[in-house]
Chains A and B, each alone.
Chain A
Amino acid sequence: MVWQTIKRWYHMLGSPRYFHTFSSRVLPWLTPIALITLVTGLVWGLVFAPSDYQQGNSYRIIFIHVPASSGALMGYMALGVSGLVAVVWRMKMAEVMLKAIAPFGAALAAISLITGSLWGKPTWGTYWQWDARMTSMLILLFMYVGVIALQNVIREPRQAARAAGLLAIVGVINVVIVKYSVEWVQTLHQGSTLKLFGESTINPAMKYPLLISMLGMWLLYAVNVLVRARTEVEWRERRSKWVQTLIRKGDQ
């Protein structure tokens, strides 16, 4: 039963045309929800959340740093899965996703590094240390840039997707390193505050705005991916009748 549903979804979303119709219906309400959620979380965190007992107000960078970092890591996992499907099953939509997921992920990885560094100066006393967490996060940014670059350098889109897909798959190892570096080796960076299992070590008055900002950032990432994927689908299917009709209608 569940398997059948997954299979149906796979086939439906695997069809570029179905994806296009589906995303036209989702975007009009997903976009405002994403923006409202993100702004709510950030304003709550910046204006209303209490200050920290040790760091004072500089800790407020957490409300952008953690959502960006988690988004960059999850985005790369999605990129890895798309890469696997593109390389093994040669599914067109996976190739499209490979192209759509990377740019915003790269932006988030850059945000994570920059905000982390701006947070590090007042708290640790340094902008940068070559510890395992920071170095592996920098490699994650390079991985994103590599996937984007490969797709731009190779002209034939299907070949480009296979090369980029392979790089995306291999890079998943680095995601694991980023995630567990703070547990496996000695780093300047502290361990995770939000824990999937067990109690989070953050006061609820700070945790809720953080969770809301995270959700908002992930939703905005989804919006960005959908817009980019639609563009790519329209371009790849430009000779098909349905895209021609769409363009003729001037359907924005």
Chain B
Amino acid sequence: MAFESFADFLAMGKHGFYVWSAYGISAFLVITSMVLALRGQGRVRQTLARQQRRAEVDK
């Protein structure tokens, strides 16, 4: 392990702000893109399921 303590790890020398904000923003963007992809899929399936139900009622 490259750090003596957890506080050391958070401090990252004196560059904690830069390192952690870089990782924080990256995590946010990656997770957002994954969530949007999955939500898009859910939405398409819901729409198609609704259309299908409507078509079956009309029959």
Q: Do chains A and B touch in the complex (CB under 8 A)?
A: yes
Q: Is the interface of A mostly helix, strand, loop or mixed?
A: helix
Q: Are A247 and B49 in contact (CB under 8 A)?
A: yes
Q: Are A68 and B26 in contact (CB under 8 A)?
A: yes
Count of B interface residues, CB-CB < 8 Å: 30
Expressed in whole angstroms, the Cα–Cα distance for A115 and B23 within the complex equals 8
What is the minimal beta-carbon distance from B39 to any residue of chain A, in angstroms? 10
- Given that A48-B2, A57-B12 are known contacts, is A231 also in contact with B18, CB under 8 Å in the complex? no
Q: Are A122 and B22 in contact (CB under 8 A)?
A: no
- Given that A110-B29, A118-B22, A247-B49 are known contacts, is A58 also in contact with B44, CB under 8 Å in the complex? no
- Considering the complex, give the chain B residue whose CB is closest to the CB of A64: B26
Mask of B1-45 contacts with A, CB within 8 angstroms, 1/0: 111000001001101001101110110011011101110110011
A-B CB pair tally, cutoff 8 Å: 101
Q: Are A107 and B1 in contact (CB under 8 A)?
A: no
Q: Are A48 and B25 in contact (CB under 8 A)?
A: no
- Given that A220-B30, A228-B37, A247-B52 are known contacts, is A114 also in contact with B25, CB under 8 Å in the complex? yes
Instruction: Give the residues in chain A near B41, CB-CB below 8 Å.
Output: 227-228, 230-231, 234
- Taking the complex as formed, is B57 at the interface, i.e. its CB lies under 8 A from any CB of chain A? no
Q: Is the interface of B mostly helix, strand, loop or mixed?
A: helix
Q: Are B19 and A58 in contact (CB under 8 A)?
A: yes
Q: Which of A205-247 contact B (CB under 8 A)?
A: 220, 223-224, 227-228, 230-231, 234-235, 238, 243-244, 247
Q: Are A58 and B1 in contact (CB under 8 A)?
A: no
Point out which of A49, A57, A61, A248 has the most chain B C-beta atoms below 10 A from its C-beta: A57
Q: Which of B1, B12, B34, B48 contacts A243 (CB 8 A)?
A: B48
Mask of A3-35 contacts with B, CB within 8 angstroms, 1/0: 000000000000000000000000000000000
Instruction: Give the residues in chain A near B30, CB-CB below 8 Å.
Output: 107, 111, 220
List 4 additional contacts besides A103-B36, A220-B34, A231-B44; criterion CB under 8 Å. A115-B22, A227-B38, A235-B48, A244-B52
8 contacts between A and B (CB under 8 A): A42-B23, A110-B29, A119-B22, A121-B18, A224-B37, A228-B37, A234-B44, A243-B48
